[in-house]
Structure 1
């Protein structure tokens, strides 16, 4: 990526210490190199302190994009990214990105300006109760009252964001505090000790495995957030037990792993959903029994005892009672878990046969471009450096179902909140977090329009991002549900007046082209992956194509609808 004007040049002379300078120095002391932000009146002193700091500031074109991009750093590195915005609309525009990070347990530090303390509570210009608005969607929040408190608050904020169950932290700083003279304080990072190992729970879990004939691993995003991927891979391999994963757990086991049956849930694989419904022991590692994974909760894994590993004790037995709770940090817990199953060979064989029988096919004749086949081929051609960043909708599920993932960071998706507009700014952040990765933003035409302005960010910083827009001229997932469950009443889902996205991208200064025939796919992917700078491939697809299989509302996971049914 081009570095021109990325790192702000040093000042000629030192400036007096202020609260704003303490903010910048505390970020540098914590090891932050890149921040994503948008200036405004109440945060202007911090922006005045940026020159000379060594921080690289990325000017996104909407504060929501700043939050998504910063959270991408947390998703890729497990270290909190940083976004900065002004008061009022700047802060409220961050809310969706903060909520998205909260729902997916992503570390993030959001710094907002606030009106000066003497006018707080007077409905001053661009005053909003940022603290109150964000309270339900952060792990912790601060209103800074004294400039000298800033170093300690920022150190504590990163500790809270990154340790325990990760999540976003908000720091709201009034303008007078930013401008106040300050002496400073310690920038030392704080570290929360990990929970003790639950030895009794581990022994009970091992006993439960010995008794089971149909055990199954249920792997969730908590595995990724805890940094326990290698430990889970080793556990699955040495146990021989089959495994399924949630949307957030994809990539913990590589897609082609012989014990991996696929994603479970609403758009999960038939092999995975059937295994869940038939198992007699469900070993949950960092998953939360969310509704998109379980279907009708009372019908989920009806024959199974449950072992639930989670570092957040509040998740255990919240939705499904755990017969064996194991509440501790996942990394040492999984490493210490030594199950010794016996007599599970028929179960393993059954699931292997189903895995092969239910594998998707890409050779069905279609008149236009078949999006699942295109996405599958994309991930094959991109290889192990591939990082898919889908938006939300049909294409998101096609990515999950059909792309190959060698690691969890290869699949960055909005799970809990399901935020349209997620892909493009998040992919920008992912590319800054891991410049050598082959990061591909994959959007539908609906979601792409929600943060299309970030094409300007690609152009300004020369971010060599690959962008795919799958255009079916509809809000595809809503249209599919309306066709299936609302008697085909297609209400407000027609996007046939979309602009020509290739022309729009070119107007932003980004290379772009369109494909609409199957025979153009291979060359199109080669052009996309071979480009040195930012590039957009606009793909026209069938507006009536659906995502299969599908578990309808209120149904158990084995009651899947498919194209024939």
Structure 2
């Protein structure tokens, strides 16, 4: 879709073959699949915003740069569109640091473009000026500063780096004179098509798989980012291996499939159930497993003599676990090539995977009592098929990630590497923007209070997101940790907010809920409503005690 609101306007006006530097940059982003850019404009990025719109990339205003970055990520999950975040110099850049760090740890190919003053001016002009690149370099795969004649080059490099191996954020600092300056229109540089990386010799891995009597697969984030669902399904079918997933990998194989044991990552209760299965396996295949999602309990989860094939998009020293054999490249393509020839597909001794799967389901089954279990179970029943859910960080996320069943990849979006609060609402906004699928946001009251302004963004975009807020007036997970450590309760309690009233004041529908029947009725109505709905579910924080 093109947006021609600003033809021939201001600094963007062109003569013949002349365009602005911002036009070159915007056209390359559009060619790479960017459909939207998110952020808050300032004087230093106005030429860029203008160029983005004219290149067919819709610029969307958020209330905070951090939320804008999560909206870009949510859209990427929903559509695959290149995620783009725009910030002006100084405070705009500083506000975005958290979401850039999240993109690094959650493997998001975020293109972060910041406006900046020209270098000569920066030598004497200090208002709002600091070294953006120095701040961001530890958090990004690369940081570029565009110069005249390099506008399209730095974008091509940034996109390639952001998508290569394990995805991650790349930063471009765009000086005002470069964005507004006129240059001759140039054809895009020739970009060679990248072939999937596959190790030359897979014979050792094939031999290990063929000899396995009790293989186990643990799938992770790399496999999701490389769209490896079909390859994983085939590998499980041919080997007979049961499957454990990280939270981000839920739904890569539908979780009602009997081969799927469940999701692991942050729950000591879940870890205790699956540990005997890990111990009994005579071969573990790590299919794109990225330990950045895992808690400390997943350090050295198997002995050094365990036979382990570690298939990764990009080999990174981490020290979290050992492996007998490590294969680097396209995880799905490698799995496909391994699933040939003589495959074991023998039943495990004593049918152990089925027993563990039954224990797993029983451990996180919903009780009859009102509480977070009941909220999640009721919403799972009420949510239409294909619903995309998002989860904020906190106690509710750990429990939800254990019991919320996903029937497809990217069906439960969350921050698992950085585990940052305030992500769920903007993730849901981006996902809803890019998809016609129903969208459901789970967030605690503290997390929602961090991003209340983004309810206005939902209103302005007219997105029918259903927001479920767990109201307990505390930082439940931190309070639980204080108790476990024998510490006095401090800094975890806050006052009551009438979230239903806030939702109505922000242009949506809001209602307080305190029982299953009301929640079911309100949820069903919410999924039919055009605008956003906020369901404030009051629970007792003590409900999380021993739940995960």
Q: What TM-score, normalized to structure 2?
A: 0.92
Matched, 1:364 2:367: yes
The answer to whether the 8 A contact 2:205-2:309 is kept is yes
Per the TM alignment, residue 50 of structure 1 is displaced from its structure 2 partner at its CA by: 4.8
Aligned equivalent of 1:423? 424
Can you give the 5+ residue segments of structure 2 that lack an aligned partner in the other structure?
none
Change over 3 Å in CA distance of 1:190–1:373 after alignment to 2: farther
Matched, 1:437 2:437: yes
Aligned equivalent of 2:379? 378
Change over 3 Å in CA distance of 1:235–1:336 after alignment to 2: same
The answer to whether the 8 A contact 1:512-1:536 is kept is yes
Higher mean alpha-carbon deviation, 413-422 vs 122-131, is at: 122-131
Which residue of the other structure, out of 100, 117, 120, is the alignment partner of 1:118? Answer: 120
Higher mean alpha-carbon deviation, 291-300 vs 328-337, is at: 291-300
3-state SS of 2:402 partner: helix
Higher mean alpha-carbon deviation, 373-382 vs 460-469, is at: 373-382
Aligned equivalent of 1:167? 168
Aligned equivalent of 1:408? 409
The answer to whether the 8 A contact 2:216-2:283 is kept is yes
Per the TM alignment, residue 33 of structure 1 is displaced from its structure 2 partner at its CA by: 2.1
Which residue of the other structure, out of 5, 9, 21, is the alignment partner of 2:5? Answer: 9
Aligned equivalent of 2:336? 335
3-state SS of 2:198 partner: coil
The answer to whether the 8 A contact 2:234-2:339 is kept is no
Q: What TM-score, normalized to structure 1?
A: 0.89
Per the TM alignment, residue 21 of structure 1 is displaced from its structure 2 partner at its CA by: 2.8
Matched, 1:536 2:534: yes
CA distance in 1: counterparts of 2:361 and 2:53, whole angstroms: 54
CA distance in 2: counterparts of 1:276 and 1:548, whole angstroms: 23
Aligned equivalent of 1:321? 322
Change over 3 Å in CA distance of 1:489–1:188 after alignment to 2: same
Aligned equivalent of 1:94? 96
3-state SS of 2:332 partner: helix
Change over 3 Å in CA distance of 1:125–1:363 after alignment to 2: closer
3-state SS of 2:59 partner: strand
CA distance in 2: counterparts of 1:97 and 1:182, whole angstroms: 33
Can you give the 5+ residue segments of structure 1 that lack an aligned partner in the other structure?
551-565
Change over 3 Å in CA distance of 1:401–1:52 after alignment to 2: same
Aligned equivalent of 2:288? 286
The answer to whether the 8 A contact 2:472-2:538 is kept is yes
The answer to whether the 8 A contact 1:462-1:533 is kept is yes
Q: Superposed, which structure 2 residues align to 1:146-545 within 5 Å?
A: 146=148, 148-188=149-189, 190-191=191-192, 193-194=194-195, 196-200=197-201, 202-267=202-267, 269=270, 270-290=272-292, 292=294, 295=297, 297-300=299-302, 304-314=306-316, 318-338=319-339, 340=342, 342=344, 344-347=346-349, 349-360=351-362, 362=365, 364-366=367-369, 369-434=370-435, 436-484=436-484, 486-487=485-486, 489-495=488-494, 497-545=495-543
Change over 3 Å in CA distance of 1:451–1:476 after alignment to 2: same
User: How big is the alpha-carbon RMSD for the aligned residues of Structure 1 and Structure 2?
Assistant: 2.4
Per the TM alignment, residue 41 of structure 1 is displaced from its structure 2 partner at its CA by: 2.3
Deviations 1:150-196 (A, max 9, x none): 12221222222123221111111111211222113233573562354
Deviations 1:467-487 (A, max 9, x none): 111111111111111122x21
Per the TM alignment, residue 455 of structure 1 is displaced from its structure 2 partner at its CA by: 0.5
Deviations 1:319-368 (A, max 9, x none): 323211111211211111127554842437111022123313646342xx
Q: Superposed, which structure 2 residues align to 1:23-62 within 5 Å?
A: 23-50=25-52, 52-62=54-64
Per the TM alignment, residue 318 of structure 1 is displaced from its structure 2 partner at its CA by: 4.4
3-state SS of 1:412 partner: strand
Per the TM alignment, residue 132 of structure 1 is displaced from its structure 2 partner at its CA by: 1.2
CA distance in 1: counterparts of 2:275 and 2:190, whole angstroms: 44
The answer to whether the 8 A contact 1:223-1:330 is kept is yes
Per the TM alignment, residue 294 of structure 1 is displaced from its structure 2 partner at its CA by: 6.1
Higher mean alpha-carbon deviation, 373-382 vs 52-61, is at: 373-382
